[in-house]
Chains A and B, each alone.
Chain A
Amino acid sequence: MSSVARMTISPRDAERYEEKDFGFWLYLMSDAVIFACLFATYLVMVGNTAGGPTPKDVFELDRAAAETALLLLSSTTFGVAAVALSAGDRGKVLLWLAVTFLLGAGFIFLEIGEFTGMIAQGAGPDRSGFLSAFFTLVGTHGFHVSVGLVWIVVMFAQVFFKGLTAPVASRFMRLGLFWHFLDIIWVVIFSVVYLPGVL
């Protein structure tokens, strides 16, 4: 919130933004419970392959590593955008938001490729309990990233048309929480789903 605090805003507005941040943290916690339930389900079902493909057969470590690199990098570039926001440099905020979007879109592109490839091999979500759990867990994360991409576009438009006003900056900070949260979830997916699957 330091960046917002530096702008001239009334104490009442500062309080409102703090409430919104707190509320957004609570939302993230409840979203984390959703992922916890999905992770638990995956771990329960990972062995239920029903004679179909096993994790070893379908996971490609290269692709997962590339996805990881793109997503972690996008978190970094979002951080650069946040620094630019603190400095009040609108042009740089727009630039780094755009870069973040491209990296996130690259992640989604790779993931869609992974999913369609698996479905083409006959390893779709309707093949076994394991694959249902896999597609739902990873797909839910991918859905969140896609929502984040739409949000980045909206954010870009707001920064472009409204400038770095206090409400815009406050929303920007919550987008940041959301984006970094997805990163953390991905790290867990990588360590719980992909690594044990291929090792």
Chain B
Amino acid sequence: MFGRLTIDSLPFYSAVAASGAAVTVLGGLAVAGAITYFGAWRMVMTQWVSSVDHKKIGIMYIMLALVMLLRGFVDAAMMRSQQAIAYNSEGYLPPDHFDQIFSSHGTIMIFFMAMPFLSGLANLIVPQQIGSRDVAFPFMNSVSLWLTTAGAGLMLISLVVGKFSTAGWTAYPPYSGVEYTPGVGVDYWLWMVFIAGFGTTMTGINFLVTIIKNRAPGMTMFRLPLFTWTILITSVLIIFAFPALTVACAMLILDRNFGFHFFTNAMGGNMMNYINLFWLWGHPEVYILILPAFGVFSEVVSTFSQKRLFGYISLVLATCAIGLLSFTVWLHHFFTMGSSAKVNSFFGTMTTIISVPTGVKVFDWLLTMYRGRIIFKPPMLFTIGFLVTFVIGGLSGVLLALPPIDYLMHNTTFLVAHFHNMIIPGVLFGYLAGYMYWFPKAFGFKLNEKWGTRAFWCWIVGFYVAFMPLYVLGMLGMPRRMEHYDIAAWQPHLIVAGIGAFIILLGMICLAVQLVVSIRERNQALDLSGDPWNGRSLEWATSSPAAPYNFAVLPKVESRDAWWDMKQRGVAYERPAEYEDIVMPKNTYAGLVIGVAGGVFGFAAIWWMWWLALLSLAVIAAAIIYRASDDDDEFVMTASEVKAIEDERFAQLAKAPKNEMADEPGFAGEPAPEPAE
């Protein structure tokens, strides 16, 4: 009945594990309690979880990402504090628990923080940037969200029921095979990645179709805003890279649960094949994460320099080139695994070449700022912090791209420092910049700047203090993932790194305070115009938050920086003579049902409750067949309803103060006069 799930699976074996479980359970109860307290269940159920509106789906993705960022950060802080005190001592984390923590930290940050954050920003912004009313497949979008959430849910459940994997976020066999790691840990990892991966693949398909097919009239490919371009290339990478992950996970599942021999030591297994398949996905994944952040930086840097983006075409081409090259470098993740010198030098060369388009981008951003009138709002601070820090990470990457040097640095903390040096400024800063930049678009008021600035300084200073010592430690030869050590020279660096983690903690606190303060003081920071930064692309043409249909009348695009161009020509905020009916997708619970059933399936498969697994598969199949037979999934918003919403919007616009950033000559940001009746 319960498979291998027994009472011993509950975390009463250690105080640290039990308190982690308690925090998770109490956190869940607190959310449920808060919704009950505010009497919001009906609203949550009818307007949010059943929603197929890309903006709401985007917001839910980002909420998920922020929760998981906190969880992943707690793991990081636990590792840093353990290593700071673990010189010739056991510290407070037993080895098995420490291993679970570094595994869950990597898994969370990649799969359940960065990926949902990326999907969230894309959902929120891309349809508005291309002048579309929706994504191509709104229902599939909801399925993607709930499958991703199901994966994240399993991640949280693993903290309460059973133990997590100790095999790192990459789960390399043969260690992750059943022979060396029995128990449910690796199965948790496999099933959550497998399930969330399906959601991501669907997101990729959805956005590629949306961007190719749903652009507003006149929005040619070379007028697409850079963020949309990066999401386009990211979608291509997702569609072609994620299948490799799915295959690698499926094979390891078969090995572990059904006695197959893909990656075992004996019986003809070949564990190198896992590592090839994993990085065939894993390296493009790096660019799946980083390209959208590059998109955000491009938008932010031109808006806050009050200038057109320098080298638009070269940025687009660099994005495409990175997309292509990202499939030619995967082997640099295992230079030391015995490939021939020829193979290693090919991949070493490709890895170095990929830094060329990235360098092009850095110069484009710098030249966009050159002679611009830079406004130092928090998103711009994150962008500048990224530019400086990212270049350092890139240089250490070029070092690691040389196979002989990689032999020395392999599996040391130098590597840990390098990829955090890419991913924290390159991905996280980008997403945080995007979060602060587009927050008013999502909610209709701006985030507090003072706390945003504080968050930035804590993050950037904390980053340097936490990770520069790891470069040094790597050169001193410290392997990564050490639970305790007996070399005195390492400890001072690890203490400094621990202090860095503490400074980043202050940055996390600043982010939380920023959100609370902003919500409390929202009436002082309302964004009535829909264009709080004097923006350049079409998402600033809609109200904040945008109406369900985004654009009452689809915009006609006549140049790059379409919205800026409209403001220059004085045709922004034009009121159409009449409105027409708009066909909208209906809300549905089918996406939620598929996601929940997917999560239940994963849980059942992890614990070998095969009857429950079959039952949940049947529910998924039933939901899909029901949905596939339902021709009545749209409703019509009548012209008069549209007019009522738009009238309110224009009334709000009339009240909007002149844009504080509108000192550019020729700014036409003021609302157009009411047309004569």
Partner-binding segment picked from A31-39, A55-63, A64-72, A97-105? A31-39
| A80 to B305 alpha-carbon distance, docked (Å) | 62
Shortest B142–chain A CB gap in Å is: 15
> Is A44 on the interface with B (CB-CB < 8 A)?
yes
CA distance A33 to B247 in the complex (A): 9
Name which of B59-67, B267-275, B600-608 contacts chain A. B267-275
Pick from B243, B254, B258 the residue with the most CB of A within 10 Å: B243
A50 at interface, CB cutoff 8 A: yes
Contacts of B629 in A (CB 8 A): 154, 157-158
A157 to chain B, nearest CB (A): 8
Interface centre among A23, A27, A38, A128 (most CB of B within 10 A): A23
Residues of chain A within 8 A (CB-CB) of B577 are none
Please give the distance in Å from B233's CB to the nearest CB on chain A.
14
A151 to B273, CA, bound (A): 34
Q: A78 on the interface (CB 8 Å rule)?
A: no
In the bound complex, CA of A154 to CA of B270 (Å): 41
Would you call B33 an interface residue if the criterion is a C-beta within 8 Å of the partner chain's C-beta atoms? no
A129→B136 contact, CB < 8 A: no
User: Interface 1/0s, chain B 364-376, versus A by CB < 8 A?
Assistant: 0000000000000
Give the size of the chain B interface in residues (CB under 8 angstroms): 44
A141 at the interface (CB under 8 A from B): no
In B197-220, which residues have CB < 8 Å from any A CB? 201, 204-206, 208-209, 212-214
Q: Is the CB of B243 within 8 A of A37?
A: yes
Residues of B within 8 A of A33 (CB): 239-240, 243-244
Distance from B530 Cβ to chain A, minimum over Cβ atoms (Å) = 27
Known: A33-B240, A34-B246. A48 touches B621 (CB 8 A): no
Q: A37-B247, A129-B269 are in contact. Are A154 and B137 (CB under 8 A)?
A: no
Q: Are A48 and B270 in contact (CB under 8 A)?
A: yes
B206 touches A41 (CB 8 A): no
Which residues of the other chain, A, contact B204 by a CB distance below 8 angstroms? 26, 30
Contact A22 B268 (CB under 8 A): no
Report the nearest B residue to A27, measured CB to CB.
B205
Q: A23-B205, A128-B267, A129-B268 are in contact. Are A34 and B258 (CB under 8 A)?
A: no
How far apart sit A29 and B393, CA to CA, in the bound complex (Å)? 34
One of A12, A38, A126, A129 near B259 (C-beta < 8 A): A126
A128 contacts B268, C-beta separation under 8 Å: yes
**Chain B contacts with A in 248-289, Cβ cutoff 8 A:** 248, 250-251, 254-255, 258-262, 264, 266-270, 273, 277, 280
| Inter-chain contact B270/A45, CB cutoff 8 Å | yes
Which residue from chain B places its CB closest to the CB of A171 in the assembled complex? B628
- Considering the complex, which residues of chain A in the window 5-30 have a beta carbon less than 8 Å from any beta carbon of chain B? 12, 15, 18-20, 22-23, 26-27, 29-30
A165 at the B interface (CB under 8 A): yes
A84-92, A109-117, A130-138, A191-199 - the one binding chain B? A130-138
Whether B244 contacts A49 by the Cβ 8 Å rule is: no
**Could you tell me if B201 and A126 are in contact, using CB atoms closer than 8 angstroms?**
no
Question: Which residues of B have CB within 8 Å of A171?
Answer: 628
B613: min CB distance to chain A, Å: 15
Other-chain contact of B244, A20, A37, A165 (Cβ < 8 Å): A37
Chain B residues near A148 (CB-CB < 8 A) = none
Judge whether A150 is part of the interface by a CB distance below 8 angstroms.
Answer: yes
In angstroms, Cα B481 to Cα A159, docked, is 59
Does A106 sit at the interface, judged by CB under 8 A? no
Known: A48-B268, A125-B260, A126-B258. A26 touches B583 (CB 8 A): no
Chain B stretch 429-463: residues in CB contact (< 8 A) with chain A: none
> Which residues from A are CB-within-8-Å of B140?
23
CB within 8 Å for A12 and B583 given contacts A19-B213, A22-B209, A23-B205: yes
Distance between Cα atoms of A31 and B246 in the complex (Å): 10
- Report B598-646 residues with CB < 8 Å from chain A CB: 621, 625, 628-629, 631
B242 contacts A26, C-beta separation under 8 Å: no
Name which residue of chain B comes closest to A29, CB basis. Answer: B239
Are B262 and A132 neighbours in the complex by a CB distance under 8 Å?
yes
Q: Is A26 a contact partner of B260 (Cβ separation < 8 A)?
A: no
Distance of A136 Cα from B246 Cα, bound (Å): 13
CB distance from B535 to the nearest CB of A (A): 28
Q: For the complex, give the distance between the alpha carbons of A31 and B247 in Å.
A: 10
The answer to whether B136 touches A23, judged by C-beta atoms less than 8 angstroms apart, is: yes
- Minimal beta-carbon separation of A164 from chain B (angstroms): 13
A38: B residues at CB distance < 8 A: 247
A19–chain B nearest beta-carbon distance, Å: 5
Contact between chains at B268 and A49 (CB < 8 Å): yes
- Residues from chain B with Cβ under 8 Å of A44 in the complex: 270, 273
Q: List 10 A-B contacts (CB under 8 A).
A: A20-B137, A22-B212, A30-B239, A30-B240, A30-B242, A37-B248, A45-B270, A52-B268, A132-B261, A132-B268
Q: A23-B205, A136-B251, A158-B629 are in contact. List 7 more A-B contacts (CB 8 A).
A: A22-B209, A23-B206, A30-B204, A34-B246, A127-B261, A127-B267, A154-B625
Across the A-B interface, give the 3 residue pairs with the lowest CB-CB distance, nearest first: A129-B268, A48-B268, A126-B259
